[in-house]
């Protein structure tokens, strides 16, 4: 046992109640400091009273916080960095939520990092809800009844759309590779050092889900200021400027000028 957090491997249905929730996740990041060493009930009540998530009901606030703790707080350095990252553009924000959802949900991780990627590379550039439903059936067998499979497929598609992996919200949805900012990629490669996962730093569903693999990934890594990447044949050498995600965040996130990450419509 490494003593480090590990990606969720047990299939669950939390996604049915809490999809990507990009804007609400941002609200959690910026308020999470007050949740340290405080009971969940007290945090939920405070979030509701102070309207962290707008006019959401108390039960809905509890659902959001329970899921955000699984996605973000499970990796301590991640929530620490995100709580300080005030100037973060909408593209980067969506991808961070996407990767943390992959961490917390094995079906979404496989759907986004394997199934959609496989279809794209096979030239099948669209997907319909019934295709996603059939995939769910293949992954879970008779575990869920058909209405649940259909709902889960709809949630998977909606999350992928919010993350920028799909272009349309209705059938047929076009599969695409989102634009990954340098900030987002830097965050991810440092995040991957924080938890145990299946794969390697250069070959995993988190990077594959956004179209980063092979030469394209290596080219991007060579241009990241916080990473020194070299390859000679089959030998790969990676030198890190920072010891971990927290150190990267302290140097990079807190020093970004307010105009560096303008919001996009």
Half-sphere exposure of 71 (CA within 13 A, CB side): 30
Helices 214-222 and 182-191 pack at an angle, to 10 degrees, of 100
Look at residue 258 in the predicted model and tell me its pLDDT.
Answer: 41
pLDDT digits (tens, 9 = 90+) for 134-193: 999 999 999 999 999 999 999 999 999 999 999 988 999 999 999 999 999 999 999 999
Per-residue DSSP letter, 178? P
Is 70 exceeded by the pLDDT of residue 38? no
Is 90 exceeded by the pLDDT of residue 37? no
Contact 52, 62 (CB under 8 A): no
Report residue 105 CA to chain centroid gap.
10
**CA 165, CA 112: separation in Å to the nearest integer?**
8
Is 80 exceeded by the pLDDT of residue 196? yes
Look at residue 33 in the predicted model and tell me its pLDDT.
Answer: 82
Look at residue 263 in the predicted model and tell me its pLDDT.
Answer: 36
pTM: 0.93
Q: What is the mean pLDDT of the chain?
A: 92
Q: What tokens were used for 68?
A: 């955000």
CA dihedral of 195, 197, 200, 206, whole degrees rounded to 10? -90
């Amino acid at each position: 046992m490494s003593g480090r957090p590990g990606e969720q491997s047990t299939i669950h249905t939390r996604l049915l109640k809490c999809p990507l929730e990009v804007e609400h996740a941002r609200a959690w990041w910026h308020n999470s400091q007050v949740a340290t060493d405080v009971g969940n009930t007290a945090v939920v009540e405070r979030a509701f009273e102070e309207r962290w998530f707008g006019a959401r009901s108390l039960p809905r606030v509890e659902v959001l916080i329970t899921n955000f703790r699984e996605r973000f707080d499970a990796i301590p350095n991640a929530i620490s960095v995100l709580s300080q990252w005030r100037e973060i553009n909408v593209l980067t924000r969506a991808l961070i939520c996407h990767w943390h959802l992959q961490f917390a949900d094995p079906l979404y991780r496989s759907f986004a990092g394997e199934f959609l990627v496989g279809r794209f590379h096979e030239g099948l550039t669209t997907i319909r809800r019934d295709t996603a439903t059939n995939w769910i059936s293949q992954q879970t067998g008779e575990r869920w009844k058909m209405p649940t499979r259909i709902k889960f497929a709809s949630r998977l598609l909606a999350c992928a759309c919010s993350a920028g992996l799909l272009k349309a919200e209705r059938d047929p949805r076009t599969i695409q590779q989102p634009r990954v900012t340098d900030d987002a990629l830097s965050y991810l490669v440092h995040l991957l050092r924080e938890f145990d996962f299946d794969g390697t730093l250069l070959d995993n569903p988190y990077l594959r889900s956004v179209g980063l693999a092979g030469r394209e990934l290596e080219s991007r890594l060579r241009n990241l200021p916080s990473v020194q990447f070299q390859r000679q044949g089959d030998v790969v050498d990676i030198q890190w400027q920072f010891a971990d995600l927290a150190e990267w965040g302290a140097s990079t996130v807190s020093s970004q000028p307010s105009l560096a990450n303008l919001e996009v419509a």
